[in-house]
Amino acid sequence: MFRIILCQPDKHWPEIWSFLQPVFAAGESYPVAMDVSETDAKLYWFASDKTTFVAIDTNSGTVCGTFYIRPNSESLGAHICNCGYIVDPAFRGQGIATQMCQRSQDIARTQGYRGMQYNLVVSSNHGAVRLWQSQGFDIIGTLPGAFNHRELGYVDAHVMFKSLI
């Protein structure tokens, strides 16, 4: 079991960084420099336009995942949100990403968002594509060669969307 709470950056960052860094360094799913510094990664994950949450294992108190919600655009497009999710590899396969996705939609609705859009779902990240589709997201566009995958080179990336109303 786990619970999702608002992130306290000073308290939770060391645990988040312990699994965020290897995900960024892998160069397979996030458009962040593979050698991003800890300082720059923290600025990215906690940018002023983002509200960040953590999934906490209720048995150990360990941070097992994190996600953020932010407006996808400014002003007249700010009613659509964007999210980013990462689960600690030690906790994968336990439904945490599914629960974070569901919870983020609930939070987004309470914050007044009318839709959720993922801007760059790497097509070779089959698990993520399947998960988001199982949660009702549609691929509304594919950007040819939009992601420079560390191992595969230039691969397509999907834009995925779900209405929240």
Name the stretches of the chain with pLDDT < 50: none
CATH number at residue 44: 3.40.630.30
Which structural domain range is residue 105 located in? Answer: 2-163
The total of structural domains in the chain comes to 1
Tokens representing 40 are 């720059």
The confidence score (pLDDT) of residue 98 equals: 96
HSE of 120 in the Cβ direction (CA atoms, 13 Å)? 13
Report yes or no: 62 and 18 within 8 Å, Cβ to Cβ. Answer: no
pTM for this entry: 0.93
- Residue written as tokens 């968002």? 113
Q: Which long-range contacts (CB under 8 A, 24 or more apart) does 88-93 make?
A: 88/18, 88/19, 88/62, 88/63, 88/64, 89/19, 89/22, 90/19, 90/64, 91/57, 91/64, 91/65
The confidence score (pLDDT) of residue 49 equals: 95
The confidence score (pLDDT) of residue 163 equals: 98
The confidence score (pLDDT) of residue 1 equals: 86
The confidence score (pLDDT) of residue 152 equals: 97
CA distance 16 to 64: 8
